[in-house]
Every structure is written in C-alpha cells, then in structure tokens.
Amino acid sequence: MKVRRAEERDIPRIGELLLQVAAVHAKGRPDLFRAGQRKYTDEELKAILRDPMRPVFVAVNEDDLPLGYAFCADATHHDDNMLTPVRTLCQTGIIRTRFSAADFRLNRVIRLANTVKY
C-alpha cells in the first residue's frame, strides 16, 4: 500500500470515507450529529488541500484508490505555558471500515507525514 499526498481528484473518495465516519458518529450520538452529513464539503476539502499548513495524506491501493486518509495540521506552539516551540504535525485519520488496521497502518501515514517536507 502506498501513502501519498492527497489531491483534488481524491475528493470524491475522501468524501465517501468522511460519510462513513459521520455515520458512526450519528449512530452513536444522534443528539449531536446529523445522519447523512459529513464534516467537510467538497469546497472545504479543496481549500484544505490547497493549504500548506494542513497537509492531507491518503493510503491508496494498487489502483490508486484511497482507502484511508490522515488530516494533519502543521503547528508550532510559540509562547505556550507548557509546550516548547517545536514544530509538530497533529493528525486525525480514518480507514475504510471494511479494512482492518493490518490492511492500513495509520501509524505509517503519521510517520511519513512527520518526515515529509511540504
């Protein structure tokens, strides 16, 4: 499985994966989450993909179809009471629910994301 930077052509697939996540949230907490909705619209995803401080990575199969994603945020904590001013890459990620963690290792995405120069 290959991990690469997400591109605009991946938006439809990322949208499908976002719907899977939203369905889990809506089922578990219908008082907080609306069924059939997702966190980001296509326009919001386009803006995120263009933002160099918010890199998105996808794990793709041999047909270059995204099976999972990692949304990242490049952050440096200046003037923080507790944190040192070290550059960090915070992330959230998801895998397609029919695949197991053994099929898509999010840790690989996170390790890659932390070493990529972007």
Alpha helices in 5-105 (DSSP H): 11-28, 42-50
How many Cβ atoms are within 10 Å of 23's Cβ, its own excluded? 16
Residue with the two structure tokens 């001013």: 85
pLDDT at position 100 over 70: no
pLDDT at 51 over 60: yes
Residues in the chain: 118
How far CA 23 is from CA of 30, 43, 103, in Å, comes to: 10, 21, 22
Q: Which of 5-9, 13-17, 33-37, 97-101 has the lowest mean pLDDT?
A: 97-101
Q: What is the pLDDT of residue 78?
A: 77
Q: Sorting pLDDT into bands at 50, 70 and 90, what band is 86?
A: confident
> What average pLDDT does this structure show over 63-77?
84
